[in-house]
Structure 1
């Protein structure tokens, strides 16, 4: 008995020792070498989406074999309906030569709407962990036959339905699947794979499963809300927040291609916080290495009354690009602007290689006019680029055209924004009905917190298109006319989808099999430089003589640039002002253009007061020291003038009268006219103000003789006022003054009694 006990204990101990020290315990299989992974994809032509796919594959050093290149696509319009059987047929043909390589892993994916976010090692590791011979991508939506839903095996967690845009498996098993294909090119590939997968016997025999929790494949259709960008120091990933996974293959299936474009602006290494834009300088054009600059047709579109149009044309003229390489096409839809175009044409028609103007008498719609401009480049074999500009674009960067050409994109525009606003010339995303939606990065791009070149779904106002694109991918389209869309929206939708009206709207059964998957020309916006701004045209009133004067609220940056003296800021940076008499300060404030237009506006109004004491325009109806003048209020310019005082006079007041904070308010604001015939001078007087400004609006000795101002207390006279310069002096008590006689010509001054 004791012996038996000993044997039992000894046997148990040996089993324990064997379990601890034995080398025969199960080990994790060795990693599959990345050389054993082959990526097979189908692409019949090199679209923008295909090139993006290849770039992401090259970044991770995938081995990729492309099937079907240059072959006519007969697989149906897979972007909108069933189809894609041609992909299975091409894969079947390719697998015949690979079927006997038992250790070869085949990854077959789409290419036009797919990018890699991780490398071969990661995808092979996750495939091994799945512990199946074949792994399909999964999604939450069933397509194309909902009747097959009940045949799918139930899953406790994860996505239940198969998506054929991503398959990974051992070569012999992939071959056994695709060798069953005996259908037509325009039959549906996903339906084919689905029927095999939902067959329990085949699912078991071929050891197939789905990537239920998006470890490898992330289909975006129906799952956009599940994913977000995860920024790292070297690259950017897409994270599935539902399953806390980092998918390797990102597929923009269904109607999520625009969202994939957004993700592709970052994934895998396009942009991150650490390095910024990492591929902005890839494939650029070095203009300095070209024998001659490309030929560019510039299309200018004036479709509504637009402020600062002469300045727009001046910027066009001073653009840093050889004028002999520029042809100019102008469509003007506004009679009001004919005088501006005529003047520019007369002065500069020989500055460009050619100059064509189509006016309002042609009665063209916007879409027709824009088609005409694009057609001029399309039909001209020497036209290398088409540069479209709306008249509300102010390009302050003279290098804009060169910078756009250098980026070497099919369609690219410079970022321009409304001054001080988030309104810009692009949309970062579209709503379900095709209109504006704000993307996560829109504000950062507009404010240039993220700088780069961005693939976007919509752009307008200003963009550059390659002439070769117009003569090839975009050669057969009426691009600016589509349904009830605005011309710019029509252009962008047509470029994104690139299918004809007839095919897209009502495909006939006999032509359906010839439809191609959408090529999708990518449109880019660049904010790598400060290019300029957009003019606001919404409230442009053209009932005045010089309408731009009234734009101080709507377009303050352009108003300032046109009307404020170029040396104004030097008042604060370099103390650029003078004190010709005690407490009388003299400084630049208006440009010559501002002076001229204000005088023209007053003369156009024409109702000068005549310098009479009786004056119904003021309280009490009596002016003690009258001048021959017109009040700003009479021409409807009082609000604008007071804003000018607050914006440009008040800061000077604080500088020269330290400690005094002006309200920037004035009741009396007027332009005075001095002539020997009507009123040549003004007798000594005090102003009813805390301080007064007096701005010279024309030139002494050229426009008039005499004139000036004398301050009695200091026996100090200023007799040579400078056009656009303002006097500022106290109005009451200390500065009794008079207007010196104008002996010849006409002298104009603008006066305000501030803080009465």
Structure 2
């Protein structure tokens, strides 16, 4: 017997020595075939998050089996409290049929807030390298029982605590873990897994560990600052900068779902620098293939005095969309705008399928009005889409509505920005308190350096919502009212979070605990086209007769479109100006609208000077060559007028008087009124200027007869001025001139003595 023991010990020692001193290289285990990986996930509803998860799985060709689809959710409000036990029960039931497949690797992950960043081969390789039978995701914060922290094994570096959102292991071992479940659906899944893992015997027997350095699983909770996007030649990855790892599974757990949305705008290969947006054309609706266009309710909201409102309505009218498919709902909170809406209603009430106006007399809050707009669509089964648009949105793209519908998103808005500013109608990120924060890609999206369709946490001003979404995911009312938040922020928060609530179908007391998992509706902004702009309403003064005239500083693009002649730019592109007399140039500058409104503004002011020599408005109090006029300064328009000279007259000056650079400065800026009864003409004179502009503000032979200007030195007269066109001529020495008699009616001209 002793001899046998000696032989056995000697044999063991020999084997050990051979293993230690052998010169042969150990063979690496054969890679696990990707066909041996099965992804199991629990999802009771096809939310936007679930669809995104499946899209990322499809991109990498994962084999996915969904558990619980269509079942009522009884697992608690996992986003805000303990729960999730239903996921373990469903996994336990699924594993019973897989328990004997020893070479099968099961990956159990969440789906509503998770995406894949790498493929099956990579995840299997990293699992093999971990050299354990079961591997759990890890995070730096413990949940749900902080008292268990001291029971966790110590580690040198990495994340110490278990997260149940990701588990990978061989099927028999996963089965041995979940077969221990005997709790309720609304008990906590993470606590269940934690207690098993913290049992030293089970941890050793089941050969379990955590993915401490995020080789496979990246939980974003508490780790947002560790993670950034890595743009490669083939695709975009998520990189953990602390562990220099490229996680395969990215999980937006707890309050990091918005950051996951940001990452998912790029991963996996959703957008990259080389190819741009790879999913923008997925699931597009081809309107040309439909029998008829969808019905759209357009909700217009005028919540403060807004410049260029008539132009806003005209742009709405010009949308390239069948008007018999459009219903209009207008909420106007401003008495000032009632005249604009009344005019538009009288001219177009029969153009749209229906036209409803709620005015300031209803005393309805902004939130209540926006809720009403959605309700009208929600309660109308024929309402296919709801377009909400604020009055400060100028849609310059007539195809906007079609383009939004074709994109086929539940909620989508067109990017609109303030002219020459980074101010837009969306936020790329939120601060911890739920307000604005700039995302890394915000500027590039606003400036359209990155073009695509972007999942964002906040939008306002203009967006399209599917009617089916209003009748399902957003079927509850009052989305625009939330304490301490403005209506747009309230809507976005409600849509994002879709906070769990009682099941309306279950009247039993137990229904209080039957809470749904988070299933937020994704909101998108598209910058694939140039859609239009936002106008500024902040400093809009409505004390004038024609208030838009004063918007040359705040809204220069809209001011130019409304008030500058449509052929003005042709002065420079096609040399459209005339020289009827030597060094007298004639060119288009004002639109008819500008001319009319300037005249209306002066007549509304009404204090015409009368053409007297005594004039307290000027230095010295005496005017040598008086006219019947009103100064721009009298109506508070002098700064705006000088800006007009610098922006639109100075470039013409440089063109016609080559080498002369005007300062664009003028003291005398006024509108002259010629009538046979008061002042019909002006005697010959020189102007106190380097050069003068003289803009005709109304039509000869329609508004007046006679009139014109004669230049004595050249015996040259201009007797047929065009409305909106300006003369420009030298002021001193060479161009003695006179105003020819107006024989009938009233003639108006705007005059400036420039560079006196």
- Measured against the shorter chain, the TM-score band is over 0.9
Deviation at 1:576, TM superposition (A): 1.1
Q: 1:525-577: per-residue Cα shift (whole Å, max 9, x none)?
A: 00000000111111111000000000001111100110011111111111111
Distance 1:509 1:446, change over 3 A: farther
Task: Give how far 1:484 is off.
Answer: 2.0
Whether 2:114 is the aligned partner of 1:117: answer: no
2:720 is the counterpart of 1:697: no
1:217-616 to 2 correspondences below 5 Å: 217-499=217-499, 511-616=511-616
- CA apart distance, 1:25: 3.8
| Alpha-carbon distance between aligned partners in 2 of 1:15 and 1:98, rounded to the nearest angstrom | 37
Contact 2:500 2:516 in 1 (8 A): no
Distance 1:357 1:7 in 2: 102
Indicate if the aligned counterparts of 2:503 and 2:514 stay in contact, CA closer than 8 A: no
Q: Distance in 2 between matches of 1:5 and 1:390?
A: 92
Counterpart CA distance in 1 for 2:280 and 2:725 is: 47
Residues of 1 paired with 2:706 and 2:377: CA distance? 59
Change beyond 3 A, Cα 1:107–1:502: closer
Q: Deviation of residue 506 (structure 1)?
A: 18
Question: What whole-Å deviation, never above 9, does each CA across 1:600-642 have from its counterpart, x for those lacking one?
Answer: 0000000000011000000000000000000000000000000
| CA–CA distance in structure 1, aligned partners of residues 340 and 700 of structure 2 | 29
CA contact (8 A) 2:689 2:730 kept: yes
| Aligned Cα root-mean-square deviation (Å) | 3.9
Residues of 1 paired with 2:270 and 2:82: CA distance?
33
How far off its partner does 1:485 sit? 1.1
CA distance in 1, matches of 2:168, 2:287: 45
Question: Structure 2 unaligned runs (5+)?
Answer: none
Q: Contact 2:77–2:500 (CA<8 Å) still a contact in 1?
A: no
Higher mean displacement: 511-520 or 583-592: 511-520
The one-character-per-residue Cα deviations of 1:711-750 (angstroms, maximum 9, x if unpaired) are: 1111111111110011111111111111111111100000
The answer (yes or no) to whether the contact 2:163–2:190 under 8 Å persists in 1 is: yes
Deviations 1:14-39 (A, max 9, x none): 99999999896411111100000000
Q: For residues 23 and 241 of structure 1, what CA distance do their matches in structure 2 show?
A: 38
Q: Do 1:77 and 1:512's aligned partners in 2 also have CA atoms closer than 8 Å?
A: no
Which aligned segments of 4 or more residues in structure 1 are displaced greater than 6 angstroms?
1-23, 500-509
Distance 1:600 1:234 in 2: 64
User: Which is further off, 474-483 or 356-365?
Assistant: 474-483
Deviation at 1:107, TM superposition (A): 0.2
Are residues 219 and 622 of structure 1, via their aligned partners in 2, closer, same or farther at CA, if it must alter by over 3 Å? same
CA offset digits 1:690-730 (Å, max 9, x no partner)? 11100000011111111111111111111111100111111
- Is structure 2 residue 164 aligned with structure 1 residue 179? no
Please state how far the C-alpha of 1:589 moved relative to its aligned partner.
0.6
Q: State whether residues 76 and 512 of structure 1, in contact with CA within 8 Å, keep that contact through their aligned partners in structure 2.
A: no
Deviation at 1:5, TM superposition (A): 31
* Residue 346 of structure 1: how far off its partner (Å): 0.4
CA contact 1:700–1:722 (8 Å) conserved in 2: yes
Is the CA contact (8 Å cut-off) linking 2:500 and 2:515 kept in structure 1?
no
Q: 1:232 offset after TM fit, Å?
A: 1.6
Give secondary structure in 2 for the equivalent of 1:504.
coil
Gaps of 5+ in 1: none
Contact 1:309 1:340 in 2 (8 A): yes
Contact residue 681 and residue 741 of structure 2 kept, 8 A: yes
User: CA–CA distance in 1 between the matches of 2:46 and 2:553?
Assistant: 49
CA distance in structure 1 between the aligned counterparts of 2:407 and 2:263, rounded to whole angstroms? 20
**CA gap 1:517/1:612 in 2 versus in 1, 3 angstroms:** same
**Alpha-carbon distance change, 384 to 14 in structure 1, aligned in 2, over 3 angstroms:** closer
Query: Cα offset for 1:3?
Result: 29
TM-aligned CA deviation for residue 315 of structure 1:
0.5
What's the offset of the Cα at 1:233?
2.4
**Structure 1: distance between partners of 2:159 and 2:293:** 54
SS of residue in 1 equivalent to 2:693: strand
CA contact (8 A) 1:496 1:520 kept: yes
Counterpart-to-counterpart distance in 1, 2:16 and 2:671: 109
State the alpha-carbon separation in 2 of the partners of residues 451 and 118 from structure 1: 24
1:330-376 CA-partner distances (Å, limit 9, x unpaired): 11111110000000000110000011111111110001111111100
State the match for 2:733 in structure 1.
Answer: 733
**TM-score when scaled to structure 1?**
0.96
Structure 1 stretch 250-259 or stretch 712-721: which is displaced more?
A: 712-721
Q: Distance in 2 between matches of 1:220 and 1:427?
A: 20
Call closer, same or farther: CA 1:3–1:526 in 2, change over 3 Å.
Answer: closer
- 1:246-277 deviation digits (Å, cap 9, x = unpaired): 00000000100000000010001111111111
Instruction: Measure, in 2, the Cα distance between the counterparts of 1:248 and 1:317.
Output: 50
Tell me by how many angstroms 1:499 deviates: 2.8
Q: Structure 2 CA distance, aligned partners of 1:30 and 1:442? A: 46
Q: How many matched pairs?
A: 756
TM-score normalized by the length of structure 2: 0.96
Deviation at 1:60, TM superposition (A): 0.1
Change (3 A) 1:6 1:434: closer
SS in 1 for 2:502: helix
Hey, what's the Cα distance between the residues in 1 that align with 2:353 and 2:163?
Answer: 55
CA separation of 1:502 and 1:136: change in aligned 2, threshold 3 A: closer
TM-superposed CA distance for 1:234, in Å, is: 2.6
Q: Are 1:497 and 1:519, in contact at CA under 8 Å, matched by a contact in 2?
A: yes
SS in 2 for 1:693: strand
